[in-house]
Amino acid sequence: MTLQHPWSRYVALGDSFTEGIGDPEPLSPGGFRGWADRVAEVLNTNTDDFAYANLAIRGRLLQQVIDDQIEPALALRPDLITISAGGNDIIRPGTDPDEIAGRLDSAVGRLRAAGATVVVFTGPDIGMTPVLGRSRGKVAIYNENLRALALRHDAIVADMWALRELRDPRMWAPDRLHFSAIGHHTVARMVLEALAVENDLAPYKPEPVPPSSWQHARVEDMGWAREYLVPWVLRRIRHQSSGDNILPKRPSFLK
């Protein structure tokens, strides 16, 4: 298949979502693949001299993404930038989705001023997920602000809220906070569609793991709480991040 698109230098900014957490791949830098790598792989097909960098680091708050990733990204002079940030802020108690969106607005303005195509992401509908579901209303407010800023800056919206497939439990990693390989694959298909790039990515490929039985799921619930929920709560109490001492997996262009 011949792919036609105008981009040759792609930089991905963000947190664990863009780093690819939940989609382990030993052959990928940092040990995770993720939707951004998958998008870059498609964009690279039949494209001469294509280059891709990924500056995302797990656990980063929006201001950390703005302070630490925007200038290094612009220094690479990309013509395509994806930025997904603010989710870690939204799920924290007492945060204001309007204020968070206002800071993202300024960041997108800086990125667009450099002449790059910019893709922003709505948050997914997390109403069915444990722990995070209570933030559903804040996510919805943030999303409406995001759509408005995308109009102001002529940015492209990758709409995860509208991606109903993400309600499937198979889309989520065992920690229930990040997407699985199938989830990242599904997001990659959506991003490519938003970019109007034809591709051969098939739904639910790689093949999904069969759904667990009800009894098995209840056992998994107890294991999940012990392995993922308790450490997550402790990090919040200690003001620690899963991304402490982690470096970007692709800090410069890889061709």
Calculate mean pLDDT across residues 43-65: 91
pLDDT for position 122? 98
> What confidence category does residue 2 fall into, taking pLDDT thresholds of 50, 70 and 90?
very low
Q: Which fold has domain 9-254?
A: Rossmann fold (3.40.50)
Tell if the pTM clears 0.85, that is, is over it. Answer: no
Q: Is the model's pLDDT at 60 over the cut of 70?
A: yes
Q: Is the model's pLDDT at 121 over the cut of 80?
A: yes
For 80-84, 145-149, 196-200, which range has the lowest pLDDT when averaged over its residues?
Answer: 196-200
> What confidence category does residue 61 fall into, taking pLDDT thresholds of 50, 70 and 90?
very high
Q: What percent of the chain has pLDDT over 90?
A: 64
Higher-scoring residue by pLDDT: 249, 239? 249
Mind listing the pLDDT tens digit for each residue in 17-28?
999 999 998 888
Domain limits, the chain: 9-254
Calculate mean pLDDT across residues 151-172: 95
Per the DSSP assignment, residues forming a β-bridge with 80 are 10, 117
Q: What is the 3-state secondary structure (H, E, C) of the chain?
A: CCCCCCCCEEEEEECHHHHCCCCECCCCHHHECHHHHHHHHHHHCCCCCCEEEECCCCCCCHHHHHHHHHHHHHHCCCCEEEEECCHHHHCCCCCCHHHHHHHHHHHHHHHHHCCCEEEEECCCCCCCCCCHHHHHHHHHHHHHHHHHHHHHHCCEEECCCCCHHHHCHHHECCCCCCECHHHHHHHHHHHHHHCCCCCCCCCCCCCCCCCCCHHHHHHHHHHHHHHHHHHHHHHHHCCCCCCCCCCCCEEEEEC
